[in-house]
Amino acid sequence: MDLRGRAFPSVHRLGVLLMLFHTIVQIMAEQEVENLSGLSTNPEKDIFVVRENGTTCLMAEFAAKFIVPYDVWASNYVDLITEQADISLTRGAEVKGHCGHNESELQVFWVDRAYVLKMLFVKQEGHNTSKGPEATWRLSKVQFVYDSSEKTHFKDAVNAGKHTANSHHLSALVTPAGKSYECQAQQSISLASSDLQKTVTMILSAVHIQPFDIISDFVFSEEHKCPVDEREQLEETLPLILGLILGLVIVVTLVIYHIHHKMTASQVQIPRDRSQYKHMG
């Protein structure tokens, strides 16, 4: 019996199975990134991930809203009045970006690319300290591209079309290298728009970002809290601390009083009236 005829089909089937397994792994890896938005319980917040060489190199989790002023004709069709569009970054947006040693960028697209958010992060060495040079990273530039001809948020906009709003000399979210930035409080960033030099306001909240030095895949490093959160946390815990201190003072005072009362009670009482001396002894 010739066994070679049976061996070749087996090898072929094994090759097909390996290719199928590889395809399934690739699909699962892609879905892992795409489904990250489901990890956030906040419906206004999304998780954005940039991966290179099979590992996570940038992670960002936040809610974002843009307040965009735009012109419409007044009822007399002569004067212009300013309306305001509130544009939220919706979940399930398209994510792109790139990572570098000292520069990383996050790009987010939504509503059929009518809106584009670009965030540029840079890392730099700091001044020398007793522990050596302290490196930090920061958000150095924000660009928001919007289309005022998009009817969901803009109604009857004059000069409708695509406009670009950029930050100016931005240095935000400053964080020690190797750490992630976390801030629950709202933060506003002003952007100068190409639409007749109007000012667009970007509002970030529930922020958790790390654009460099991610050690574990899909896991943020140690958090660096923003000053606002630290102050609010102190304001929340300060009454508790003061209450504990006051309670401790009361307990110590009662203990001292009790000890003093027992000591004075055990001492011999000397009569103040000299006529009572004869009864002593």
Return d(Cα 261, Cα 138) in angstroms, integer: 63
Distances (CA, A) of 94 to 26, 111, 131: 18, 9, 41
Tens of pLDDT along 130-182? 555 689 999 999 999 999 999 999 999 998 999 999 999 999 999 999 999 99
Give the residue carrying structure tokens 């398209």.
Answer: 94
What is the DSSP code (8-state) at residue 25? H
Read off the pLDDT band of 25 (50, 70, 90): very low
**Residue 197: predicted pLDDT:** 81
Q: Cα–Cα distance between 207 and 218 in angstroms, integer? A: 16
- For residue 129, what is the enclosing H or E element? strand 128-129
- HSE-CB at 81 with a 13 A cutoff on CA atoms is 8
Instruction: Tell whether the model's pLDDT for residue 96 goes beyond 60.
Output: yes
Q: What is the pTM of this model?
A: 0.69
Q: What is the pLDDT of residue 31?
A: 37
Pairing of strands 180-183, 223-225: parallel
Q: pLDDT-based confidence at 228, cuts 50/70/90?
A: confident
Work out the pLDDT band at 20, boundaries 50, 70, 90: low
**C-alpha span between 248 and 222 (Å, rounded):** 34
Question: Given this model, what pLDDT does residue 196 score?
Answer: 84
At 118 the pLDDT is 98
Q: Note the pLDDT of residue 237.
A: 53
Residue whose structure tokens are 């066994």: 3
More confident of the two residues 118 and 239: 118
DSSP helix/strand/coil, 191: strand
pLDDT digits (tens, 9 = 90+) for 81-91: 999 999 999 99
Compute the mean pLDDT over every residue in the chain, rounded to the nearest whole number.
Answer: 80
Per residue in 97-127, pLDDT (tens digit) is 999 999 999 999 999 999 999 999 999 987 6
What pLDDT is recorded for position 134?
Answer: 83
| Angle CA 134–215–52, to nearest 5 | 110
- Residues 157, 161, 167: CA angle, nearest 5 degrees: 100
Answer with the residue of higher pLDDT: 76 or 132.
Answer: 76
Considering the chain, what percentage of its residues have pLDDT values greater than 70? Answer: 67
Element housing 259 (H / E): helix 227-266
108-111 contacts, C-beta under 8 A, 24 or more apart: 108/48, 111/150, 111/152
Per-residue model confidence (pLDDT) at position 154: 96
User: At 132, phi and psi to the nearest 5?
Assistant: 100, 180
Q: How confident is the model at residue 234 (pLDDT cuts 50, 70, 90)?
A: very low
CB distance 99 to 57 below 8 Å: yes
Residue 24 has pLDDT above 60, yes or no: no
Question: Between 128 and 147, where is the model more confident?
Answer: 147
Q: What is the reported pLDDT for 44?
A: 80
Of 220, 210, 217, 225, nearest to 104 by C-alpha is 210
- Within a 10 A sphere around the Cβ of 70, how many other Cβ atoms? 25
The predicted pLDDT at position 173 comes to 96
Rg (CA), the chain: 33
